[in-house]
Structure 1
């Protein structure tokens, strides 16, 4: 018997990306989401049982989204054109979409700046689909329940 609302596992077919209100369309790959705590070690004289592990700063790796080039590729060019006066930190929202096109989960990022965009390479010896990749740096996550307040 089917439930009224079918729950899908966190397997997404596509990801939607929006940066400071600029919709950048759908992407089919997403990587790099995470965080890491730096750890400083301190040895205490006379203590041979353990080394102190002191928590340090949080570090966030760059995130990358990728897709075959298509109609949505022009949205990235339009967004880049809006950066002609300078790059400033902003926010981004990346949402994983399930097989039915509905949002499964989303992540809001704070302090986002574009790091790199790579477009397709063309050549007769390369029979792969032409693709593009967008890489973004960020300062951390924004809690959904408290917009503007950083998590962690």
Structure 2
């Protein structure tokens, strides 16, 4: 019998931008889309209001991980914007500890919004974290494994 994989197992998120591996992140937030709805009230028809789709907007995506040597890759990508803006594609792959892919999301025209490095305070020791925030113009894959 095939072994069933626990859906609640630890998930990691691998980020690649135009086939460049930027490493593994522990958290990923903001994989979301919203459809703005235009309401149209038709004259003489008081029974309902038309609900019509308008625009689709996409949330910023926030990735967080403990500080690693891969931080340099993120820094190189961010500083490359100073030599000219390109809007690459990206892929976020949700993986189990054994490396098997649970789901993946392709992102269109990705740009960095911000990067926050760790805070070092000996009075409150904690894991040194970095946070990367991305913006994009939509998905090419929607969680397909």
Give TM-score, length-normalised by structure 2: 0.86
SS of the aligned residue for 1:66 comes to: strand
5+ residue gaps, structure 2, are none
Aligned length: 142
Matches within 5 A, 1:1-80: 2-3=1-2, 6-9=4-7, 11-80=9-78
5+ residue gaps, structure 1, are 145-152
More divergent stretch after superposition (8-17 vs 35-44): 8-17
2:105 corresponds to which residue?
107
Matches within 5 A, 1:75-94: 75-94=73-92
Q: Could you tell me how far apart the structure 1 residues matched to 2:123 and 2:40 are?
A: 55
1:117 corresponds to which residue?
115
In structure 2, the CA distance between the partners of 1:117 and 1:86, relative to structure 1 (3 Å rule), is same
SS of the aligned residue for 1:36 comes to: strand
Give TM-score, length-normalised by structure 1: 0.83
In structure 2, the CA distance between the partners of 1:113 and 1:10, relative to structure 1 (3 Å rule), is farther
Q: Is the 8 A contact 2:34 2:56 kept in 1?
A: yes
Deviations 1:42-67 (A, max 9, x none): 22233332221111111111111101
In structure 2, the CA distance between the partners of 1:69 and 1:103, relative to structure 1 (3 Å rule), is same
Deviations 1:78-100 (A, max 9, x none): 22243330222110000011131
